[in-house]
Amino acid sequence: MDERDTMSESTENGSFFRKWAMRQYWRMQQSQAVVGLLLWGTTITLLVWPYISWRFTKSCDSGICFSNTTLGIPSTYIGLAVIFLSVMFAVLTIGFLYDQVFSLWTEWRSVDMERNPFVTYALSPNWVMMIALQAETLKRTSSEDEELSKQADWYLKWCEHYTEGEMFARAVQRWDKDLGETPTFWFTSNEAMQRARETSFEDDA
């Protein structure tokens, strides 16, 4: 194995580990919004409670005081619930300002799209199929236009490049399962289709 092969294998291993780590991070993120909000509300509630808990005791003799129980429910629980709901209301208010007043989500979405490779330079299997079909149609209907034909060839080369990726391999394997054997498309090769079928996805675990 020469130095180039060693470097390539090292890069693939590093890429595999990064993707595995990001997959686990993505899984944790799915519950982050709800769990984070509940933890945040609970933490603030417990931090605030010591400063006002004396108002819910018999020793309270000034300012606003509450009885030990309300409708048979200990006032401590009611106080904690009020603090928690107040925190949730404050978060909702900030969210409303974020959305309706400052509209910061538009800039966030812009940055999110800029950092998404499948919006800037990469192709998902669906886009590969659509662009390749359009490029082939353009090439056949504009055969007399040399410049346009060159651009169509570039589009097909672009599509061919992304048939070597994992997303296309996943698509081919799914198409094989749902629709029978997937044909070899005009913008790729039998070898590329076979590699897609042989690709394994151990990181799904």
Radius of gyration of the chain (CA): 29
73 and 169 in a single domain? The answer is no
Residue 116 pLDDT = 92
**pTM beyond 0.95:** no
58 and 99 in a single domain? The answer is yes
Domain count within the chain: 2
62 and 124 in a single domain? The answer is no
Residue 74 pLDDT = 83
Residue 130 pLDDT = 96
Q: Which amino acid is at 69?
A: T
The span from the CA of 77 to the CA of 60, in Å, is 17
pLDDT exceeds cutoff 80 at 71:
no
The predicted-structure confidence for 152-175, as pLDDT tens digits, reads as follows: 999 999 999 999 999 999 999 999
Q: Give the domain range for residue 153.
A: 120-204
The answer to whether 135 and 159 are in contact (CB under 8 A) is: yes
27 and 127 in a single domain? The answer is no
Q: Among 82, 100, 115, where does a domain finish?
A: 115
pLDDT exceeds cutoff 60 at 25:
yes
Residue 92 pLDDT = 92
The answer to whether 79 and 49 are in contact (CB under 8 A) is: yes
86 and 25 in a single domain? The answer is yes
